[in-house]
A and B are shown apart, each in its own frame.
Chain A
Amino acid sequence: MPEITLVQAVNMALARALGDDEAVVVLGEDVGAEGGVFRATDGLLQRFGADRVLDTPLAEGAIAGLSVGLAAQGLRPVSEIQFTGFIYPAIDQMANHAARLRTRTRGRLSCPMVLRAPCGGGIRAVEHHSESPEAMFAHIPGLRVVIPSSPARAYGLLLAAIRDPDPVVFFEPTRLYRAAREEVEDDGAALPLDRAFVLREGSDISLVTWGAMTKETAAAAELLAEDGISAEIVDLATLKPFDAETVLASVGKTGRCIIVHEAPLTGGVGAEIAAHLAEEGLVSLLAPVERVAGWDTVMPLPRLEQQYLPSAARVAAAARRALAYQ
């Protein structure tokens, strides 16, 4: 079994889906001959042909909008927005149409589409190429929002997203695209949506996170372990609808929770998790829930991005505050 990167796992899942299901089409800007700016669609045009892998004219709103039309016709478009900084014109189509087509027709029409987009900072990219807008989509009823944090989860969750009968926004952390390799079997097995993954078991504090922040959080857990603190890491993976049960079970065990995300603090998905803990997990809590997140600033250009992104040290410090709380 080959060791592959996250971006290769995305590619493998797309190829598997194209091979398994004739209804699947891959489309977006530069996804064909170019193979995608990150090479996520590398080789797919050559393998599956121009009727299955389509380079679109440059229009993000229409990429989402025509995907709605394709999906209503029973195809399963997997459409790429080249960077999340360019995804905003597509929000109208996702909110007003993709997310509500099933509802407004009482199931007569539906929208089984996936909108893929590389997300997040940390790769010293040019302006508008490092955004984390997951909360904007997580607020929209009818959508699913998914972010994988490893090659295996990218493969299994993307297959699940493509097979899901409803629209899924699938964010891929650029920082993890080539950060690590792991063995991923191309067995066509999907991972469950709407389920969180416990990446590391622990007893003293729960660290809830997703996407690229699993890396900093894992490093923070190592720092804490040096001090004899046992941290549990929960990778939310599906942000909408999110797996409150797993989070509550973890915090029920540890009594403390730090939520880590790269997106700005205010109105982030972390606020939703904290609200759930306040509503349903208050009696388990031994310390206030703290969020370690991107600042409420515009995403800085690369020279300051490391000061913007939550670091292992910030996460560990927050965890220590929670443990010291009396």
Chain B
Amino acid sequence: MSAEKTEETLTEPWAAGAGTVVRFEIGWSRFIDPKGKAVRPLPDFARDPAELKALYRGMVLARSFDAKAVALQRTGRLGTFPSALGQEAVSVGVAAAMHADDLLLPSFREHGAQLWRGVSLFELFLFWGGDERGNDFAEAREDFPVCVPVGTHAPHAVGVALAFKLRREARAAVCVFGDGATSKGDVAEALNIAGAWQLPAVFVINNNGWAISFPVAKQTAAETLAQKGIAAGIPSEQVDGNDVVAVREAVARAIAKARSGGGPHLIEALTYRLGDHTTADDASRYRNDAEVSPRWAEEPIVRLRHYLVGAGLWAKADEERLLAETSAEIEAATAAYLDTPPQSPGAMFDFTYASLPQALAGQRRAVLDAAAE
């Protein structure tokens, strides 16, 4: 009898003074497994071979750029550079899901997304080579430049999305940040406001497992990072971040919802940082081969290639042609970058304010005089 009574009280929690108010669950999705096999029917866009090949090309271009940037840094011709090796599916999947008039707010490891959006290889080399002109994109003029401080661009996405909403524009702000950023107040504040105001913002956590030397398991006691969105009232989910089809499908769904007034969405893309944090880092100080090696079996480019080859859509000649093309593009951009002289020293004053205040005129003259000597 007492057991029955207990059951009865559970169905009337308020009367009993305790009970469950809310439950949540976090979904996870994948279309192509690490061996390149489709585990369920692909979404519509992925049934078009051209779309899949474009995603593949985007990831290969990102990785080739990445390798070149590291090589340039190692030979003293580029500044400190954060490699995105192994994370190309997140970058490319996110950008491929976006409409041209959506707006990207990337963290510093989203080269693949920037390239897809129309930022040029030359501009990326220029920025990472230490020149602000690399952020003066010829395309994607409204996209934000990369955010170097961790996660502080999340509130910018809220402002951008608010601008869209106030102007009744069917556009989405897409903000990408890493696992480390989810420990910051900026991200918590941004998610909270985006939820409270039902803004057209899509937040993507590029969870590569590591914040420099700090593994995600130590970053939080939360079972998933996605549930931090749930706490803000934002529908949130996980995807296999090494499956570019899964990333693109989830982000496209989120963007479609945001653009039609359905509010914000959060996607945690689970991937892995195969390289060092940056060229200034040595990951062997805090993780060993036994940790990293198995992750190579999950990386996104080989996975999609296996799928394409298995489906009869990709042959050795296609691969060779693609590598030759991307290599030529990258070499041309590298040459253009290396041939670009630095800005005039006076340029540091030129955009500090819209017009140079009188108080800075003397300092600008002093810099130019010193340069002329």
| Residues 29 to 75 of chain A near chain B (Cβ within 8 Å) | 51, 56-57, 59, 61-62, 64-75
Q: Contact: B163 with A73, CB < 8 Å?
A: yes
Most-contacted residue by chain A among B135, B162, B185 (CB, 10 A): B162
Bound-state CA distance A183–B160 (Å) is 39
A104-B132, A105-B145, A108-B136 known; A62-B158 Cβ under 8 A: yes
| Chain A residues positioned under 8 Å from B132 (CB to CB) | 103-106
The A/B interface has a contact count, at CB < 8 Å, of 135
State whether A92 and B193 are in contact (beta carbons under 8 Å apart), knowing that A70-B162, A166-B353 are contacts in the complex: no
User: What is the CA–CA distance of A109 and B358 in the complex, to the nearest angstrom?
Assistant: 23
User: Which residues from chain A contact B156 at a C-beta distance below 8 Å?
Assistant: 65-66, 68-69, 72, 97
Question: In the assembled complex, how far is the CB of residue B250 from the closest CB belonging to chain A, in whole angstroms?
Answer: 23
Q: Which residues of A contact B163 (CB under 8 A)?
A: 69-70, 73-75
Flag if A242 contacts B158 (CB, 8 Å): no
Chain A residues in 8 Å Cβ range of B329: none
CA distance A81 to B87 in the complex (A): 39
**One of A71, A96, A141, A242 near B352 (C-beta < 8 A):** A141
B354 x A69 contact (CB < 8 A) = no
- Besides A75-B163, A103-B352, A105-B136, 7 other CB < 8 A contacts? A57-B192, A59-B192, A62-B186, A108-B137, A110-B354, A164-B354, A165-B354
| Chain B 159-190 interface residues, beta-carbon cutoff 8 Å to A | 159-164, 166, 173, 185-186, 189-190
Determine if B357 is an interface residue (Cβ-Cβ < 8 Å): yes
What is the interface of chain B, defined by CB distance below 8 A to chain A?
132-133, 135-137, 141-142, 144-145, 149, 152-164, 166, 173, 185-186, 189-190, 192-193, 196, 348, 350-354, 357-360
Q: Complex: how many Å from CA A74 to CA B166?
A: 12
Interface pair A62/B190, CB less than 8 Å apart: yes
Shortest Cβ distance from A245 into B: residue: B358
Report Cα–Cα, A48/B30, bound state, in Å: 48
Bound CA–CA A223/B160 (angstroms): 54
**With A69-B158, A103-B132 in contact, is A61–B166 under 8 Å at CB?**
no
Interface centre among B152, B173, B353 (most CB of A within 10 A): B353
State A244–B164 Cα separation when bound (angstroms).
Answer: 42
| Cβ-neighbour of B135 out of A93, A97, A105, A242 (below 8 A) | A105
Q: Which chain B residues lie closer than 8 Å to A78 at the CB level?
A: none
Does chain B have a CB within 8 A of A186? no
14 contacts between A and B (CB under 8 A): A51-B166, A62-B189, A69-B157, A70-B159, A72-B159, A92-B149, A103-B348, A105-B132, A105-B135, A105-B136, A108-B137, A109-B142, A241-B357, A243-B358
Bound-complex Cα distance A106 to B136 (A): 6
Question: Is A18 engaged at the interface, CB distance under 8 Å to the other chain?
Answer: no
Within A140-180, which residues are at the interface with B (CB < 8 Å)?
Answer: 141-142, 144, 164-166
Q: Is the CB of A61 within 8 A of B135?
A: no
- With a cutoff of 8 Å between Cβ atoms, the chain A residues found around residue B137 in the complex are 108
Across-interface contacts of A241 in B (CB, < 8 A): 357-360
Contact (Cβ within 8 A) B186 A107: no
User: Whole-angstrom distance between the alpha carbons of A166 and B354 in the complex?
Assistant: 7
Assess the B352–A62 pair: CB atoms within 8 A.
Answer: no
* Contact partners of A222 in chain B: CB under 8 A: none
Query: Complex: how many Å from CA A306 to CA B145?
Result: 48
Q: How far is the CA of A151 from the CA of B91 in the complex (A)?
A: 52
- Nearest CB in chain A: distance from B9 CB, A: 36
Instruction: Answer yes or no: A25 CB below 8 A from chain B CBs.
Output: yes
Report yes or no: B352 in contact with A73, Cβ–Cβ below 8 A. Answer: no
Give A197 Cβ to nearest chain B Cβ, in Å: 16
Across the two chains, which residue of chain A brings its CB closest to B201? Answer: A69
Question: Is the Cβ of A142 less than 8 Å from the Cβ of B352?
Answer: yes
Question: In chain B, what residue has the closest Cβ to A108?
Answer: B136
Determine whether the beta carbon of B190 is less than 8 Å from that of A97: no
A25 nearest in chain B by CB position: B166
Asked, given contacts A65-B186, A65-B190, A75-B166, whether A93 binds B354 with beta carbons under 8 Å apart, the answer is no
Max chain B CB contacts within 10 Å: which of A25, A62, A93?
A62
Shortest distance in angstroms between B167's beta carbon and chain A's nearest beta carbon? 8
B310 to chain A, nearest CB (A): 43
The chain B residue sitting closest to A73, CB to CB, is B163
Which residue of the partner chain, among A97, A105, A107, contacts B152 with CB atoms under 8 Å? A97
Does residue A188 face the partner (Cβ distance < 8 Å to B)? no
State which of A59, A71, A144, A244 has its C-beta within 8 Å of the C-beta of B193: A59
Among B145, B155, B159, B360, the one with the most A-chain Cβ atoms within 10 Å of its Cβ is B159
Tell whether, in the assembled complex, residue B357 and residue A69 are in contact, meaning their CB atoms are under 8 Å apart: no
Cβ-defined contact, A109 with B162, below 8 A: no
A66:B155 contact, CB within 8 angstroms: yes
Say how far A163's CB is from chain B's closest CB, in angstroms: 11
Residue of B152, B161, B193 near A57 (CB, 8 A) is: B193
Given the known inter-chain contacts A75-B166, A96-B149, A108-B135, please indicate yes or no for A61 contacting B358, CB distance below 8 A: no
Q: Are A194 and B357 in contact (CB under 8 A)?
A: yes
CA distance A235 to B247 in the complex (A): 58
B359 touches A242 (CB 8 A): yes
